[in-house]
Structure 1
């Protein structure tokens, strides 16, 4: 019998021609002229219940809800014994600056769940391996909008919106044995972009945290942007921090590509330059590199709204690697481990949460970006779709996680569901 991971890869290979491209580009995209107006286009498809419907997956796959009625699931982590940890929470709360911010807040709220964030970690267990996660416990509570998760040995790291903490993890436990220990404080004043993404390097010496900007394009003043729009490197033992890369407006998910051990991120780019500008992106994160925010985008394309400009930084701006649809809001990133069948032996799943600032919505799906020799190698394909239908929105993907057993785990923070995608047998 084919191993589960290879079976999943084989199903992907069969499905690739059927699902079509997802809009991601590995070549340099053609950028339209900026479009400015009093208000950006704003449209959220009306939220609706799933009912008997389910997200759509490629031929040869199946999808099931393994947990429902969650409290705003964001990111998940598959533990070595197969248990799944889910971070649940809702953060932020930046004050409104202008009338358009107030209007945008109303529009965005219409497309989000009304459920209060759990501020907790939930543990799910499939004890008999039949795909039904019959065990469910609150592993840790009273956290502050937890988001990023990483396990290094027996140390479980959680990136809250204000602090990186750790628990001592014991295999099989259903509840943390003690209160979390602080590793380091994280920038949290204002918290316009509150999510703190997290990844650990291969030997667990360093942790990397993505910290989003405190504004769209610096309109709150650059003083509040200190240590924002960056990726931090944190010494796991001492908690010492340093800036690893800058100019990433909102790096919402981080992951290491397994063959090259290169750090990658998905980034939400700026608003109010039109429906097709600026592309969100998937990119390698190079030490010391500057990715443009707020002065420039997609290389040295100057954002004239930002004054005064910094010509030196504009010219130093690094172009991202893969363009994603503008305003598609990538929030999840997970690379496939080794052992998958061609042509999906290398690649990354990306969760696109979906737009709120376009007349024609984009995103609202999970895509796969193929890699070869540690680099993007072709157009993305759709993997999980159907979150919108006939002007209704049933779900919004956030975190995506690859289970080494051959499953894709998708957090949906609108219907508060955790989905599991596997090859049909």
Structure 2
């Protein structure tokens, strides 16, 4: 479901936004999130969707290991990283094994040589592993302390040269000032966690994190602030500049000042960057992936699939889908469009039929989507 304010590519220009409090803030979280047996989401023409794997507690981040295995963070209970393996044909039900459990709300997963890096809520860690078999070879190695609580996703990505690691940490609040500098920011450090510094700031809750493969630029998806109205401000998907400031908590979508926040740093607001792609208000974008496969039509090649977890702060539901943003030459070339939908049968009602979280491209070019409401991973492929 899309928000009233159109999802759009900004080309760096300030969009026309509603006034603050134009509509009353709504507390409208979903009641039930689990679909009935046999449910499948809807997908764009020319595609089909199936259940790839099921029975998870809270499946979140998805990523593909260098050997083609699928790593999944299941964050409820013991906090597991699970390996899914189905060989070249990801239409077959995968084998599964636990890579590690007893983690603290694990989320981001990334691979570098013979290490698996994981973003726990309270720390960045890594594990020695065998890249051929995906077997863990030792206990966790602590790299960086991270603050617990608040927005609890901790995403991880590597610089194109493989020499540094990026870590995304969200704020502890809606609009509070004075939070630790590592919050509402992306940090960069050495592979061993040393020499950490802020890379980009003013990002209320940066969740997705990945390198765009053509330009080598770092991108993130951001959950913006709440309680300014149904259509304000838009959540967004954007490239990041080293040293860039993106507004939070003082402003949003450039220099649009939040009237609730004491303006302690007007110099920051003056240089606040307008994000590249607006996704609609309160859609809650989580993981995204750039399509590097060949199975889908060429119009999808290089584009981004963005999982939208769905709104709670809007009278009529928005999000609850996977959106697609076409790219050309490493830059967004068309406004976002719905791709995987059908999880909101009635936007005015409390019940939904799932909440997308993770997206990744399988070795055969299919798209895998984790859903922590349904407890499943879906597989989207082209029709035969």
The TM-score normalised by the length of structure 2 is 0.92
Given the superposition, is the C-alpha separation of residues 118 and 384 from structure 1 closer, same or farther in structure 2, using an over 3 Å criterion? farther
Q: Distance in 2 between matches of 1:130 and 1:198?
A: 25
Q: Normalized per residue, which structure has more strand?
A: 2
Task: Say if 2:69 and 2:85, in contact at 8 Å, map to a contact too.
Answer: yes
Matched, 1:73 2:59: yes
Q: CA deviation at 1:172?
A: 4.5
Given the superposition, is the C-alpha separation of residues 342 and 23 from structure 1 closer, same or farther in structure 2, using an over 3 Å criterion? farther
2:166 alignment partner in structure 1: 208
2:366 alignment partner in structure 1: 407
Secondary structure at 2:172 match in 1: coil
* 2:238 maps to which of 270, 280, 283: 283
* 1:367 maps to which of 323, 331, 347: 323
Q: CA deviation at 1:130?
A: 5.8
1:31 alignment partner in structure 2: 17
Matched, 1:383 2:366: no
Task: Say if 1:88 and 1:121, in contact at 8 Å, map to a contact too.
Answer: yes
Q: CA deviation at 1:127?
A: 4.0
Q: CA deviation at 1:283?
A: 0.7
Secondary structure at 1:168 match in 2: strand
Q: CA deviation at 1:213?
A: 0.8
Given the superposition, is the C-alpha separation of residues 329 and 204 from structure 1 closer, same or farther in structure 2, using an over 3 Å criterion? same
Q: CA deviation at 1:84?
A: 0.7
Task: Say if 1:22 and 1:380, in contact at 8 Å, map to a contact too.
Answer: no
Q: Distance in 1 between matches of 2:233 and 2:88?
A: 47
2:157 alignment partner in structure 1: 199
CA RMSD of aligned residues (A): 2.1
Q: Distance in 2 between matches of 1:23 and 1:343?
A: 21
Q: CA deviation at 1:60?
A: 2.1
Q: Normalized per residue, which structure has more helix?
A: 1
Matched, 1:138 2:98: yes
What pairs with 1:199-348 in structure 2 (closer than 5 Å)? Answer: 199-218=157-176, 221-222=177-178, 224-337=179-292, 341-348=297-304
Q: Distance in 1 between matches of 2:235 and 2:143?
A: 31
Task: Say if 2:293 and 2:363, in contact at 8 Å, map to a contact too.
Answer: no
Secondary structure at 1:343 match in 2: helix
Q: Distance in 2 between matches of 1:343 and 1:374?
A: 13
Q: Distance in 2 between matches of 1:341 and 1:257?
A: 19
Matched, 1:43 2:3: no
Q: CA deviation at 1:182?
A: 1.4
More moved, 346-355 vs 167-176: 167-176
Q: CA deviation at 1:364?
A: 0.1
Given the superposition, is the C-alpha separation of residues 237 and 130 from structure 1 closer, same or farther in structure 2, using an over 3 Å criterion? closer
1:349 alignment partner in structure 2: 305
Task: Say if 2:284 and 2:308, in contact at 8 Å, map to a contact too.
Answer: yes
Q: Distance in 2 between matches of 1:69 and 1:117?
A: 14
Task: Say if 2:5 and 2:281, in contact at 8 Å, map to a contact too.
Answer: no
Secondary structure at 1:312 match in 2: helix
Secondary structure at 2:19 match in 1: coil
Q: CA deviation at 1:229?
A: 0.6
Q: Give structure 1 regions of 4+ aligned residues with deviation exceeding 6 angstroms.
A: none
Q: CA deviation at 1:36?
A: 7.5
Q: Distance in 2 between matches of 1:163 and 1:239?
A: 13
2:44 alignment partner in structure 1: 58
Q: Distance in 1 between matches of 2:318 and 2:85?
A: 34
